[in-house]
Copies of this chain bind each other. A is one copy, B any other.
């Protein structure tokens, strides 16, 4: 089936009560995960499904993970409700080749902090302020077709210092109207898998309807798709290849 050539994306969203308030549903009536899956599914190379915290096995059963090439993660208020076991399975899959894209407030999620070995700390401000995203690495595949800079009219500010290890590539750096700057698009290689963090996406702002933001996420999915996926990474006892004295 030609279907097998598609990049299978699972868009995971905590989607708790906080996202069912009018301030959010006005922008994302079905939840922001559906908006994201919606624009991804317009790309002929991608097949996106959604999963939420309330689903069976927190939306991330073995069957779902087996069918996922790239996982997108959005969480904020309910990070603690994600079980350690769920987080560990996600990390294990990334080590084995699954790509992962962390959006916005995922910087304090269990998978983000454990996969990067990071505190995820930053400073923030909710002031619906203007942000300008600069492309610092225009040669990176995630920046393909993205202009030198672009504006999001209203966003939550996230500012440096950002508690992450040195990225493999700093693709985007954002400026916020209130004066702060932030490494807003950063990549990491985690054994077989690729990870990308992207800052924009406060739940009450229509950020995921922004055409350039959508293009960044589509690019990131294509960049993060597995080179290969492998089984569990263990520590085999092996024989000598050369003669031991």
Residues on A lying within 8 angstroms of B by beta carbon are 84, 91-92, 95, 97, 108, 114-127, 129-130, 132, 134-141, 144, 148-149, 159-163, 165-170, 173-175, 177-181, 183, 188-193, 227-228, 230, 233-242, 244-245
Contacts and interface: CB of A to CB of B under 8 A. Distances in A.
A55 to B, nearest CB: 25
Given A134-B180, A163-B191, A175-B181, 19 more contacts: A95-B118, A114-B117, A121-B234, A121-B235, A123-B235, A124-B237, A125-B240, A126-B237, A129-B240, A130-B245, A134-B161, A136-B162, A136-B183, A139-B193, A144-B227, A159-B238, A165-B189, A170-B170, A178-B242
Given A166-B169, A183-B173, A244-B178, A190 B108 contact: no
Contacts of A136: 160-162, 183
17 contacts: A95-B119, A108-B235, A119-B233, A123-B235, A124-B238, A125-B239, A132-B241, A134-B180, A140-B227, A149-B179, A160-B173, A165-B165, A166-B189, A168-B168, A173-B183, A174-B181, A177-B245
B177 A175 contact: no
A190 B165 contact: yes
A139 B97 contact: yes
Nearest to A194: B139
A79 to B, nearest CB: 12
Contacts of A160: 134-136, 173
B178 A233 contact: no
A175 B192 CA distance: 24
Residue among A119, A139, A190, A240 having the largest count of chain B Cβ atoms under 10 Å = A139
A114 B119 CA distance: 11
Contacts of A191: 118-119, 139, 163, 165
